[in-house]
A and B are shown apart, each in its own frame.
Chain A
């Protein structure tokens, strides 16, 4: 069978394949060059690297500021993802079982995805400053829960499509309580969706720069923000090493979680 451009071997299809390859190269180039640059032995950023070394990784792991930011980002991500997954899963369950009348409820629950991140940051900055609680870690957690929750909600709504209501009904008829049905029937089926929601929430939180720019304080400088401020005056391969560590962390989380639970599509806004 042939597609719209006719034969698989037709010049048009070959041209399309080449073009697609080039666009993929464009998409992945910034990530690829960072991974290479991180091994550069030189003092300054240059490409191709002048000799290879691990000195910038050593410098990164020996840098107290980067390390405290790395731990903060991981901690913040885990806390926010745990809360988001719990809240998002509850909302997702409600949406999945409330039928077609819930379109506006769904839009409201997914609203944090659609409001540009810069506006979320601005509004929270104003609110925290007005309440005189600027720069608190608690505020950051609240902000991160807000922006990561919809990912968990969405993956659970999608995951619940695999749960036949008749299976739950059968459990209920056989005498299981509502909670037993949920724990022993529903949860095992949507376990993958719950894990996907958690992983995406963690990744979104870990890589966020907008909330960090607007609402973090001196005690809550996340890794992306530390890099952002550092990069404005120093673009040495130290930044590349710090970036490479983040890329490797995130890619390994995706790969491992994908292997274990089969991650659903991470399609997202921002």
Chain B
């Protein structure tokens, strides 16, 4: 009994500094945000501490903001769908290949994640710019006679986000596919299923949990992105994060910015909760 008590006291002491940082730098600021979100905005002095739900109604009831919400969700769905389409073959290949390069390839999926978003956004500018790679190739091939305007568009943002978020799709998919015992697929083949049937009737259904968790994570990260849309979307793309950023740093309407932030917290918490519930054990914590 006393052993147990000393073990839990040790756990407490060892985790206390981390918990303190999380409490001070994450939980307390989020609670402050919650409080600010129900205070009334007064220009020049920020708030007069009157309670109101007006900040929420303003965001959820105004045509302009509803359009922003719709564009954000639409973009998130497009990014998620594309990530799934591009990520599935990669995860399947990595799960089934017998190549000795497999660990290197898995590592290569992660490498871009360690390079700053800003650097990769610039990479997309070089790829999609007026004098960029894509336009040069298309001109050289004679497909077009004048360079296309590819940057500052929804498409540029979607491409950039897919590139940035793809690893978050591949990881749970890879874990789900590796969790399928080879004997299951062998049994299906032994019973006369064609490779196509094995894939469609056995492998694909068994990998659904991985598809769900990867999609939830990618969607959650896509709809809360700010930096990449700001650099690649220009004035064409207005996302929810940009509304919160502008409210906080441009118009100093902290209550409204807080309300938008709290809505994002609620939505992303629900998505991440779903992710943690569905993610395959091997990818847990990844």
Residues of A at the B interface (CB closer than 8 Å) are 1, 3-6, 8, 10, 12, 16-17, 19-20, 23-24, 26-34, 37, 44-48, 87-88, 90-91, 93-95, 97-98, 102, 105-112, 114-120, 122-127, 129-130, 142-143, 145-146, 149, 153-154, 157, 203-204, 206-210, 213-214, 224, 227-228, 231-232, 235, 239-240, 243, 246-247, 250-251, 254, 265-270
Contact = CB atoms under 8 A, between A and B. Distances in A.
B30 interface: yes
Contacts of A48: 136
Interface string B120-142: 11111111010111001000000
Contact of A45 (B22, B89, B125, B249): B125
Contacts of B125: 45, 231, 235
B199 A5 contact: yes
A52 B225 CA distance: 35
B99 to A, nearest CB: 9
A27 B166 contact: yes
A231 B26 contact: no
B26 A115 contact: yes
A30 B241 CA distance: 24
A142 B226 CA distance: 22
B22 A146 contact: yes
Given A19-B90, A265-B107, A267-B283, 4 more contacts: A20-B93, A30-B124, A32-B123, A209-B118
A142 B185 CA distance: 50
B32 interface: yes
A146 B163 contact: no
A243 B133 CA distance: 17
B59 interface: no
- In the A-B complex, the 3 residue pairs with the smallest Cβ-Cβ separation, listed nearest first, are A30-B123, A3-B96, A123-B29
Contacts of A208: 116
A123 B26 contact: yes
B126 A45 contact: yes
A4 B15 contact: no
Interface string B1-36: 000000110110011011101101110111011001
A246 B114 CA distance: 10
B98 interface: yes
Contacts of A246: 115-116, 119
Given A90-B15, A116-B224, A146-B25, A267 B126 contact: no
B195 A111 contact: no
7 contacts: A47-B129, A119-B264, A142-B24, A145-B25, A203-B114, A206-B116, A267-B110
B111 interface: yes
A227 B18 CA distance: 31
A264 B147 CA distance: 44
A117 B238 CA distance: 18
B213 interface: no
A212 to B, nearest CB: 9
Size range of the interface on B?
35 or more
B13 to A, nearest CB: 8
Contacts of A108: 19, 22
B122 A120 contact: no
Interface in B201-243: 203, 217, 220-221, 224-227, 231, 241
Contacts of A207: 114-117, 119
A98 B9 CA distance: 11
A5 B11 CA distance: 48
A87 B18 contact: yes
A141 to B, nearest CB: 10
Nearest to B135: A47
Nearest to A32: B123
A16 B89 contact: yes
Given A102-B11, A153-B18, A122 B231 contact: no
Interface stretch (B48-56, B62-70, B254-262): B254-262
A75 to B, nearest CB: 17
A156 to B, nearest CB: 11
A264 B136 CA distance: 40
Given A45-B131, A126-B29, A90 B109 contact: no
A26 B164 CA distance: 10
B122 A231 contact: yes
B139 to A, nearest CB: 11
B116 A23 contact: no
Contact of A231 (B33, B96, B121): B121
A250 B115 contact: yes
Contacts of B163: 26-27, 30
